[in-house]
Structure 1
Amino acid sequence: MNISLHDSLSTYDLKIGIIYYNKIVVSDSPQMIKGRTQLYQENLYLEMQETPVTERPGIAEWRALWKLLGADPNRYRHSAESLMRRIAKQNYLTPFHSAVDINNFFSLQYEIPIGIYDVNKLEGDITISLGNDDTSYEGLNGRFNSLKNILYSHDDEGPFGSPFVDSQRTAVTEQTTDALQIFYLRPSLTDEECMQLLASAGKMFTQVNGGDYTIALLSKEHPTTTL
């Protein structure tokens, strides 16, 4: 599988992290993960009484990038900001399954959008592009979503994921054995910091879900990887 940034994104300072997992077992999250996630959310809520969501470094950096790409960050909030805003209202995330729960935990911890997809529901190579008037899909939010001026990932069948909301087509379930995780990393991180973050995330994910993982980093200097 080839994963690449579209040529139209070559002028932007993007850093996209990729983790490919195989032979994982997705199930109900262990109590340790549920407890850790709940405690983390409660601590975030207290922190956000002093520092509003939009002033948190990772959230602010992605809002700025959102605007640079041409989308309105107030109308189309990236997924990490949406999660943070829920927590600021004490509308805490409820456990779903071990893959989604850890994915959400990473998103809160690193303050970045992250998507996770079932590899067996993907077809062919993957390209990350910038959406136009015709880019849309049925999302996990239960709505038909337009992705104009928003980053999105697409395979041979069409668009399936973005830092805004992911599609229903490639959702990870308890039957998933191979998964692809896309990290929309903060551009201010060095390549070394990005690789360390991905390695740490891959290690924790497989400690819970088993399997093996491979990491890669896409940027304007290195726009393509093969997994």
Structure 2
Amino acid sequence: MQFRHSGAIWQAFPELRAGALHVDDIHADAEVEKAIAGFSATASARLAAAQEGEFPEIQAWRRGFSRMGLKPTQYRSASEALLRRFRQEHGLPRLHPLVNLCNAISLAFAIPIAVFDTERIAGDLEVRRAGGHETYLTFGGDIEHPEPNEVIFADGEERAHARRWTNRQSGLSAVRQESRSVLIVAEALHASAGEDIGRLVATLAEALAHHWPGEPKTAMLSLASPRFEF
């Protein structure tokens, strides 16, 4: 299986930097609350100094959404949405331990992180422009079709596993209690994205190895190295 961004995405967003991790043997019994508390404290300290909309990581995604023709305060990147909810509610809902951990790391780094159940992805997964014919399953069970030219995560059966790039994941490949094999993707557009994605991937790989038995495979993605095979 392969994860990649299309050539057109790299051409339109040459500042993009991404990290990808794959790990097997995930289970829902891991105790991650101590780690979550540490990452949440980092986010809280940063939010005490400024609201999330002032963070360079968030501002870069807002500019990116504007370049995609979207209103950045109507469609927020996943990291901005998490930080906003965390600031308002002083916490996040608990889901699967892996998702909870990734959400906490996303808060700490202000960088969106997507987690996919690889057993629910057909063939390769590519971040590309939509044709408009692809299908997208909402968490409510409804089928949608992305707008033509919208940035999506598309698999080999023309199913969109995320809409509006880092805005909204599909319910189809969301991690469940029975999930075992996952692909994790982090993406950033800000000036220090390369350095920050590198730190995020190293932090996440260490946390995964600590809480689950599988050894994660990792990759840093850029225009010069755009593919992750796992």
Bin of the TM-score, shorter chain as denominator length: 0.7 to 0.9
Match of 1:160 in 2: 161
Query: 1:73 deviation in Å?
Result: 0.7
Q: Which runs of 4+ in 1 moved over 6 A?
A: none
Quote how far apart the aligned CAs of 1:24 are: 2.2
User: What residue number does 1:205 align with?
Assistant: 208
* Matched residue type, 2:50: T
Correspondence 1:6 to 2:2: no
Q: Any conservation in 2 of the 1:6–1:128 contact (CA below 8 Å)? A: yes
Partner SS, residue 212 of structure 1: coil
**Secondary structure at 1:70 match in 2:** coil
Select between 51-60 and 175-184 the one with higher mean Cα deviation. 51-60
* RMSD of equivalent CA atoms: 2.6
Does structure 2 retain, via aligned residues, the 8 Å contact 1:206–1:213?
Answer: yes
Structure 2: runs of 5 or more not aligned: none
Moved more, 181-190 or 130-139: 130-139
* CA displacement, residues 155-203 of structure 1 (integer Å, 9 cap, x when unaligned): 1121112411111110111211110001012342364553343122111
Residue identity in the other structure for 1:25: H
Q: How does 1:161-200 map to 2 (within 5 A)?
A: 161=162, 162-189=165-192, 191=194, 193-200=196-203
Aligned CA distance change for structure 1 residues 195 and 133 (closer, same or farther; 3 Å): same
Return the TM-score normalized by structure 2.
Answer: 0.84
Aligned length: 224
Match of 1:68 in 2: 67
3-state DSSP of counterpart to 2:177: coil
Q: How many percent of aligned residue pairs carry the same amino acid? A: 21
TM score, norm. by length of structure 1: 0.85
Output the CA distance in 2 between the equivalents of 1:53 and 1:141. Answer: 28
1:144 Cα deviation (Å)? 5.8
8 Å contact kept, 1:23–1:178: yes
Q: Would the aligned equivalents of 2:17 and 2:193 in 1 still touch at CA under 8 Å? A: no
Is the 1:2–1:125 Cα contact (8 Å) retained in structure 2? yes
| Residue 136 of structure 2: aligned partner | 137
Aligned-partner SS, 1:60? helix
